[in-house]
Amino acid sequence: MKKTIFILWISLLNLNLNFAQTKLKKLSILKEKEVEILIITDKKTYHIGDTIHLKIQFKNITKNDFTIAYREGSFHFLQLLYFQNDKKLLQAGKCREKIAPLGFFEKDYHKLKAKSKLEFELNLEIINFPINRACFEEQFYKSGYGIICDRHGVLFKKLNEIKIALNYNIHFPSSPTESKHSAYYTQKNVWNQALNSNTLKIKIRE
């Protein structure tokens, strides 16, 4: 009886180990980098009043086609991360951007073919506060500097180095109804994992 129990215990142990190895293998597959994201600027030093011409590049390093959800314009400004002296910059402006009721519009899905790149432009303006601009409430921003895109922005106090990175973190479906009623339902193989870009370092002068 003891021998039977011991054999059964060994069998269960092997089964658990095999299951654990399979689970780890699946996790490692998910962690493999299939799409890379890169942000690029036109120069490294800017002055107040300049426009930062930012390029956001998605690169497919596999042999499979993907679809990337990306809305051109200021939508992804809120996914950009800004740091100065290792402190995250505060948001400025309280504008809402028109979005699709259930995720993205049809035109926001872009095919990213195997071994190819997709590139989008995002223009950022460097300004002095206060500024007479829709959505920026002057009483909160009487002085300082800002990086803005349309009606969204970040606020900083000193002119020195700023670090910029992009956290592309979009999940599908984002709601139970999205998979049935939104533009996402018509798409195939939509990229559905978070991506972190490189970190840019730019200097801002008067």
Tell me what the mean pLDDT of segment 37-57 comes to. Answer: 96
Supply the mean pLDDT for the chain: 82
The answer to whether 199 touches 164, Cβ cutoff 8 Å, is yes
Instruction: Give the range among 17-31, 41-55, 71-85 with minimum mean pLDDT.
Output: 17-31
Residue carrying structure tokens 């995720």:
103
State the pLDDT at residue 182: 84
The residue with greater pLDDT, 185 or 21, is 185
CA 141/CA 128 separation, integer angstroms:
10
**Of 112, 73, 96, nearest to 192 (Cα)?**
112
**Of 117, 118, 138, nearest to 127 (Cα)?**
138
**Of 92, 112, 109, 91, nearest to 100 (Cα)?**
109
CA 173/CA 123 separation, integer angstroms:
29
149: Cβ contacts below 8 Å, ≥ 6 apart: 74, 77, 122, 123, 124, 125
**Of 109, 153, 113, nearest to 133 (Cα)?**
153
Q: What is the pTM of this model?
A: 0.78
Tell me what the mean pLDDT of segment 22-29 comes to. Answer: 35
Residue carrying structure tokens 């269960």:
12
What are the pLDDT digits (tens) for 102-118?
Answer: 778 899 999 999 999 99
State the pLDDT at residue 26: 33
3-class DSSP state for residue 169?
coil
In one-letter notation, the amino acid at residue 155 is L
